[in-house]
A and B are shown apart, each in its own frame.
Chain A
Amino acid sequence: MIWLLLVAHLAALPATVIAGKQSMRSGLAAAAVVPAITAVWAAVLLIDDRTPTTAELVWVDGLDLALRFRTDAVALMMTLLVSGIGALVFVYAIGYFSPGAKGGTRFPASLLAFSASMLGLVLADSVWTLFIFWELTSITSFLLVGHKNDDESVLAAARRALMITGAGGLVLLAGLLILADEAGTVVLSELTPVQGGGATLAAILILIGAATKSAQVPFHVWLPGAMAAPTPVSAYLHSATMVKAGVLLVAVLGSTFAEVDAWKVVGLGFGIISMLWGAVGALRHRDAKLILAWGTVSQLGLLITLLSVGSGKATFAATSILFAHALFKAALFLTVGEIDIRTGTRDIGELGGLARKMPITFAVALAGGLSMAGVPPLLGFAAKEAAIEAVLGLEGPEAGIAGFGVIGGSILTVAYTTRFLVTVFGPGPDTTVAPRRWAMTGPAVFLGSAGVVGYAAIGPVNDLIVSAATELNEKSNVYLLFRWPGLTTGLAVSAAVVGVGALLGAMMARRTKPAPKPTGATLADDGLDGVLKLARNLTAIVQHGSLPVYLATMGATATIAAIPFLFGLGTDHLILADDPVQALLAVAIVGAAAAGMFVRSRLGAALTLGAVGLGVSGMFVVHGAPDLVLTQLLVETVVVVGFVIGLGHLDRRFPRSPNTWRAVRITIAMTGGIAVMLALAAAGAGPVGEAPVADIAASSVDEGGGNNIVNVVLTDLRALDTLGEVVVLATAAVGILALARAGRPETEEAPA
Chain B
Amino acid sequence: MIREHSPVVELGVRAASPLAIMVGVYLLFAGHNNPGGGFAAGLVFGAVVALRTVAGLQRTDLALPLIAGGVIVAGLVAAAPLLWGDLMLDQQVWTVEVPVLGKVKSGTALFFDLGVTAIVIGLVMAVLDGLGAADLAAPPSHHPDGDGDGDRETGSDPVAEVDAG
**Chain B positions near chain A (C-beta within 8 angstroms):** 1-3, 27, 31-40, 43-44, 46-47, 50-51, 53-54, 59, 61, 63-64, 67-68, 70-71, 74-75, 78, 82, 87-89, 91, 93, 105, 107, 109, 112-113, 115-116, 119-120, 122-134, 136, 153-156, 161-162, 164-165
A61 to B53, CA, bound (A): 46
Report the separation of the CA atoms of residues A734 and B129 in the bound assembly, to the nearest whole angstrom.
Answer: 11
Q: Are A638 and B50 in contact (CB under 8 A)?
A: yes
Bound: A627/B105 CA distance, A: 20
Of A173-181, A424-432, A709-717, the one touching chain B: A709-717
Size of the A side of the interface (Cβ < 8 Å), in residues, is 57
Which residues 720-752 of A sit at the B interface, judged by CB distance below 8 A? 720, 722-723, 726-727, 729-730, 732-734, 736-737, 739-741, 743-745, 747-748, 750-752
17 contacts between A and B (CB under 8 A): A60-B87, A649-B162, A705-B93, A705-B107, A707-B34, A708-B31, A710-B37, A719-B89, A719-B91, A723-B89, A726-B71, A732-B123, A733-B122, A736-B129, A737-B126, A744-B156, A751-B154
On whether A708 and B64 interact (CB within 8 A), knowing A642-B127, A645-B132, A729-B120, the answer reads no
In Å, the complex CA distance between A644 and B51 comes to: 10
- Interface contact B123-A60, CB-CB below 8 Å: no
Report whether A733 and B88 are in contact in the complex, using a CB–CB cutoff of 8 Å: no
User: When chains A and B are docked, how far (Å) is the Cα of A750 from the Cα of B120?
Assistant: 24
* A648–B46 CB distance below 8 A: no
Q: Closest Cβ of chain A: how far from B101's Cβ, in Å?
A: 17
Contact status A644-B54, CB under 8 Å:
yes
CB distance from A132 to the nearest CB of B (A): 15
A703 CA / B131 CA spacing, docked (Å): 42
* Contacts A705-B32, A708-B34, A733-B122; A744 near B161 (Cβ below 8 A): yes
- Enumerate the 5 nearest inter-chain pairs by beta-carbon distance, A residue then B residue, closest first: A747-B155, A706-B32, A634-B43, A705-B93, A740-B130
**Pairwise interchain contact B162-A708, C-beta atoms closer than 8 A:** no
Cα–Cα, bound, A733→B155 (Å): 24
**In the assembled complex, which residues on chain B have CB atoms less than 8 Å from the CB atom of A353?**
none
Task: Indicate with 1 or 0, residue by residue over A459-470, a CB within 8 angstroms of chain B CB atoms.
Answer: 000000000000
The answer to whether A711 and B119 touch (CB under 8 A), given A638-B124, A645-B2, is no
Mask: chain A, 621-632; 1 = CB below 8 Å from B; 0 = not: 000001101110
CB of A635 closer than 8 Å to a CB of B: yes
Please classify the interface of chain B as helix (H, G, I), strand (E, B), loop, or mixed, using the class held by over half of its residues: helix
A736 to B40, CA, bound (A): 21
Does the CB pair A645–B40 fall under 8 Å? no
Q: Which of A627, A715, A744 contacts B112 (CB 8 A)?
A: A715
B50: chain A residues within 8 A (beta carbon): 638, 641-642, 645
Q: Would B87 and A61 count as touching, CB distance under 8 A?
A: yes
Question: Closest chain B residue to A719 by CB distance?
Answer: B89
Q: Return B44 CB to nearest CB of chain A, in Å.
A: 6
User: Which A residues are closer than 8 A to B by beta carbons?
Assistant: 57-61, 626-627, 629-631, 634-635, 637-638, 641-642, 644-646, 648-649, 703-708, 710-712, 714-716, 719-720, 722-723, 726-727, 729-730, 732-734, 736-737, 739-741, 743-745, 747-748, 750-752
CA distance A732 to B127 in the complex (A): 10
Q: Is the CB of A748 within 8 A of B156?
A: yes
**Which chain A residues lie closer than 8 Å to B34 at the CB level?**
707-708
Contact of A734 with B112 in the complex, beta carbons under 8 Å: no
A331 to B: closest C-beta gap in Å: 41
Let me know if A720 and B126 touch, CB within 8 A: no
> What is the bound-complex CA distance between A726 and B1, given in angstroms?
35
Knowing A715-B113, A720-B88, A723-B75, say if A730 contacts B35 (CB, 8 Å). no
Q: Which residues of B contact A645 (CB under 8 A)?
A: 2, 50, 53-54, 128, 131-133, 136
Residues of B with C-beta under 8 A to A712: 32, 109
